[in-house]
C-alpha cells in the first residue's frame, strides 16, 4: 500500500479462492524473469518490451541495475526471511474448510506498470504530489517503475482473487540517508469478504446501505462536500457501507494485524492504532509499536474504497488492505543500521542470516574483503564424498588465522573420461584492523595450496 500524507508519500501493503459469481475471471498478470534492461537513444528495453522515451523519462542505469536483484526472493536474505514469516502467518491464519491456505502470493510481477495502475485505479488525485516526476522513476509519460506494490491490486482482483499477498521491489526518488534508498521492498495485502460470508449468522444484515449510491465524481451528498477526496478523511465509514459491515471488517483486520506484529516482535510488544489517510482506503489507520523508547509506524491499513471494488467487478462485498515495508521490519528485527546493507554482496553480512531465524546483526569490518578461488584435483583413488571438508577448513584456519572470513565450496566436478574429481573453494579474506593488499593475500593463499598438496596429495589446477 502506498502510504500518503498531504505533503509527501511514503511507501508500504494480499486471496480465499474467489467466488466467480460476482465477476468474470480475467487473465493473471504475467510473471517476469530477466529485465534485459537497456537504455537506447530513443527507446528503453525492459522485460521484452520497448518503450519510447519522452520528456518524462528519468530512468538511470544505476536504478535499472537493481531490477534483477530480487532480494526478497534470495534464500536467507533478511528481507526474504521477513517475507517468509509474514507469508507463513497468513497461511495459518486463513484456512479453507479442507485446511488449505486461502491466501495466494505474487512475488515476481513485473515492476513496470502503467500510470493507470499506479495512480488512477487507486483513486489518487491527478494533482497529487506522489505523481510528480521528481518522486517517481518514469519510463515515459504512460509507464513507470511501480512506486508501490498496491499498483497490482486491481488487476489481481479483476483476475478473480479475493485474498492475496503481493511482494516486490518498488522504486521511489528520495533523500539519501541510512533509512532511504531509491529501491525498497513492500508486501501488500487484500482480503475481500462477500456479504453472505460476513453475515452468515445474521443474513438480514447487509454490506451496503440501501439508500446510498456512491458517485465518485460528485462528492458526498451526505457531507455536502464537492470533493470525493475530502470524504476519504471521514474515519467513521464510507457512506455506502453499513456500520455493521465496517465494524466487523475493522475488527477482523485489526485482530489479524496485531497477531502479525506479536508474531514478529513477541507477545509483550506495545502497540497502538493511529488514524491515517490513504486515497484508497476509508477509514484508515497506521499501526505503531513502541521500540527502543519511541513509537514507530510499522504498517498502514484500512477498509478498501468501494469504488475500487466496484470498478474491478466486485459486488456486495467489503475488503480490507494493508501494506508494510520489508526494510523497515528487517532493520528493527535484525538491528541493521543502514538500508544500504541489504544490497551488500559481502559474505560477511550475508553469512550472518540463516534458517529463518531472527538474529542481531554484528557489524563487519569496515576494511574491504579480498576473495581468491582455490581449485584442485583430488587423488585418483579419492571421491568427492571421501574428502573431509572440515579437514580442509582446518588447514585454511591454521594457515590464514583470523584474516579468513569465509570459505565456500562453489563447485564440484567429475571428469567424464578420467573419473577424477575436482573441487573449487572461494576463500574470503579480511583483516579486522587494516586493509589487506592483494599481494599479502596471494602469499597466504599459495601457502594454503601448498599445505593441501602436502597433506592430501592433490593437484592444484
Q: What is the mean predicted confidence (pLDDT) over 87-93?
A: 97
Write down the pTM of the prediction.
0.76
Is residue 333 predicted with pLDDT exceeding 90? yes
Q: What confidence tens digit (pLDDT) does each residue in 400-457 have?
A: 887 888 888 999 999 888 889 999 999 999 887 789 999 999 999 999 999 999 988 9
388 or 164, which is more confident: 164
The predicted structure's pLDDT at residue 217: 44
Report how far residue 109's alpha carbon sits from residue 72's, in angstroms, rounded to the nearest whole number: 13
CA distance 179 to 172: 13
pLDDT at 176: 72
Report residue 18 as a C-alpha cell: 474467489
Express each pLDDT in 289-302 by its tens digit. 999 899 999 999 99
Cell 460470508 locates to: 197
**Domains of the chain, start order:** 38-213+232-334 (3.30.930.10), 370-460 (3.30.70.380)
Question: Residue 103 has what pLDDT?
Answer: 97
pLDDT at 223: 40
For residue 421, the cross-strand partners are 414
Question: How far is C-alpha 242 from the geometric centre of its chain's CA atoms?
Answer: 34
Average the pLDDT over 370-374 and give the result.
94
424, 375 Cβ separation under 8 angstroms = yes
Strands of 104-106's sheet in order across: 104-106, 163-171, 183-194, 317-325, 294-304, 281-291, 271-278
Q: 3-state DSSP helix/strand/coil percent for the chain, to nearest 5?
A: 30, 25, 45
Closest CA to 78 of 343, 386, 272: 343
The pairing of strands 317-325 and 183-194 is: antiparallel
Q: Is the dihedral of CA 27, 32, 36, 38 positive or negative?
A: positive
* Segment 257-283, tens digit of pLDDT: 999 999 999 999 999 999 999 999 999
Model pLDDT, residue 398: 80
Amino acid at each position: 500500500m502506498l502510504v500518503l500524507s498531504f505533503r509527501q508519500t511514503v511507501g508500504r501493503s494480499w486471496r480465499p479462492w474467489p467466488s466467480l459469481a460476482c465477476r468474470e475471471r480475467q487473465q493473471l498478470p504475467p510473471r517476469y524473469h530477466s529485465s534485459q534492461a537497456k537504455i537506447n537513444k530513443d527507446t528503453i528495453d525492459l522485460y521484452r518490451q520497448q518503450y519510447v522515451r519522452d520528456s518524462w523519462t528519468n530512468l538511470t542505469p544505476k536504478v535499472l541495475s537493481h531490477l534483477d536483484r530480487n532480494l526478497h526472493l534470495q534464500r536467507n536474505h533478511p528481507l526474504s526471511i521477513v517475507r517468509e514469516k509474514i507469508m507463513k502467518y497468513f497461511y495459518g491464519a486463513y484456512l479453507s474448510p479442507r485446511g488449505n491456505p486461502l491466501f495466494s502470493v505474487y512475488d515476481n510481477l513485473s515492476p513496470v506498470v502503467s500510470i493507470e495502475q499506479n495512480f488512477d485505479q487507486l483513486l489518487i488525485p491527478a494533482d497529487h504530489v506522489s505523481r510528480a516526476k521528481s518522486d517517481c522513476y518514469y519510463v515515459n509519460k504512460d509507464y513507470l517503475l511501480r512506486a508501490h506494490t498496491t499498483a497490482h491490486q486491481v488487476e489481481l482482483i479483476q483476475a478473480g482473487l479475493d485474498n492475496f499477498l503481493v511482494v516486490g521491489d518498488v522504486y521511489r526518488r528520495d533523500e539519501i540517508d541510512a533509512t532511504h534508498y531509491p529501491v525498497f521492498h513492500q508486501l501488500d495485502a487484500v482480503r475481500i469478504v462477500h456479504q453472505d460470508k460476513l453475515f452468515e449468522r445474521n443474513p438480514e444484515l447487509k454490506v451496503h446501505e440501501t439508500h446510498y449510491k456512491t458517485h465518485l465524481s460528485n462528492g458526498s451528498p451526505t457531507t455536502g462536500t464537492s470533493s470525493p477526496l475530502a470524504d476519504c478523511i471521514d474515519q467513521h465509514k464510507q457512506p455506502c457501507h453499513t456500520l455493521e459491515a465496517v465494524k466487523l471488517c475493522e475488527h477482523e483486520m485489526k485482530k489479524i494485524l496485531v497477531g502479525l506484529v506479536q508474531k514478529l516482535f513477541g507477545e509483550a510488544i506495545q502497540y497502538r492504532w493511529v488514524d491515517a489517510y490513504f486515497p484508497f482506503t476509508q477509514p484508515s489507520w497506521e499501526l505503531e509499536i513502541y521500540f527502543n523508547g519511541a513509537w514507530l509506524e510499522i504498517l498502514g491499513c484500512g477498509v478498501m474504497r468501494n469504488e475500487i471494488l466496484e470498478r474491478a467487478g466486485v459486488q456486495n462485498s467489503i475488503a480490507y488492505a494493508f501494506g508494510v515495508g520489508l526494510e523497515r521490519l528487517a532493520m528493527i528485527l535484525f538491528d541493521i543500521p543502514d538500508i544500504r546493507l541489504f544490497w551488500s554482496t559481502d559474505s560477511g553480512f550475508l553469512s550472518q542470516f540463516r534458517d529463518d531465524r531472527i538474529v542481531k546483526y554484528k557489524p563487519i569490518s569496515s576494511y574491504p574483503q579480498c576473495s581468491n578461488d582455490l581449485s584442485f584435483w583430488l587423488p585418483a583413488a579419492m571421491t568427492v564424498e571421501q574428502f573431509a571438508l572440515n579437514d580442509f577448513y582446518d588447514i585454511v584456519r591454521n594457515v590464514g588465522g583470523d584474516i579468513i572470513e569465509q570459505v565456500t565450496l562453489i563447485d564440484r566436478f567429475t571428469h567424464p573420461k578420467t573419473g577424477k574429481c575436482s573441487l573449487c573453494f572461494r576463500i574470503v579474506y579480511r583483516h579486522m584492523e587494516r586493509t589487506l593488499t592483494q599481494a599479502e593475500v596471494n602469499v597466504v593463499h599459495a601457502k594454503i595450496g601448498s599445505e593441501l598438496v602436502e597433506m592430501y596429495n592433490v593437484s592444484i589446477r
